[in-house]
């Protein structure tokens, strides 16, 4: 299946799993993270607290992925990943972002996920450059689809037309717009 792009609210999508651009504490935050927590209900925060704190305030280090049920969401699962904060590309941010996608796909495979929706991980308040973030996301999705035999539906649900254009450019001639969410 091709990679699909759309602008919208990821918390409303009816897919097997949505990816949450979480913070390392897995506490409800702002942006995509806040919208997902609000739509899923308080049980999601309780589930996030079940993950062991690896260091003070860190339940999900950058680049790692954690799985919880979707609770009140249309999605069965939420895969949480903490992306890197952009620090001029000098702290391994590109590899950490790639690991976010790789680990989300690994969790998806382990849980028989057939459809997954991603936000633009780290491209909001974490300041990751949009064009570079889009290139990494599309590259990792293509690698996963190539290894899975295209049996997975991958949607990038983006927060604005401006970032949508960056993902469309990174996707190139393979561009396919996802149907609008109801």
Whole-angstrom distance, CA of residue 174 vs CA of residue 177: 10
The residue assigned the tokens 């295209």 is: 150
Active site residue 33: yes
Whole-angstrom distance, CA of residue 26 vs CA of residue 10: 18
Residue 176 DSSP SS3: coil
The catalytically annotated residue of 9, 16, 33, 150 is 33
Token digits of residue 30? 């702002």
Whole-angstrom distance, CA of residue 118 vs CA of residue 14: 13
- DSSP bridge partners of 118: 156
Q: Which residues are catalytic?
A: 33
């Amino acid at each position: 299946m091709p990679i699909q792009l759309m602008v919208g609210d990821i918390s409303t999508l009816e897919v097997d799993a949505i990816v949450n651009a979480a913070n390392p504490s897995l506490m409800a935050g702002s942006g995509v993270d806040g919208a997902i927590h609000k739509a899923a209900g308080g049980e999601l925060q309780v589930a996030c607290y079940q993950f062991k704190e690896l260091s003070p305030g860190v339940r999900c280090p950058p680049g790692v992925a954690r799985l919880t049920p979707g609770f009140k969401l249309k999605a069965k699962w939420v895969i949480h990943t903490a992306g890197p904060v952009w620090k001029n590309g000098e702290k391994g941010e590109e590899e950490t972002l790639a690991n976010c996608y790789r680990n989300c796909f690994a969790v998806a495979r382990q849980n028989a996920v057939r459809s997954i929706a991603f936000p633009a991980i780290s491209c909001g308040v974490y300041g990751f450059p949009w064009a570079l973030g889009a290139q990494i996301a599309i590259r990792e999705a293509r690698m996963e689809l190539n290894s899975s035999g295209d049996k997975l539906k991958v949607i990038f649900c983006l927060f604005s037309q401006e970032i949508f254009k960056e993902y469309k450019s990174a996707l190139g001639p393979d561009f396919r717009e996802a149907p609008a969410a109801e």
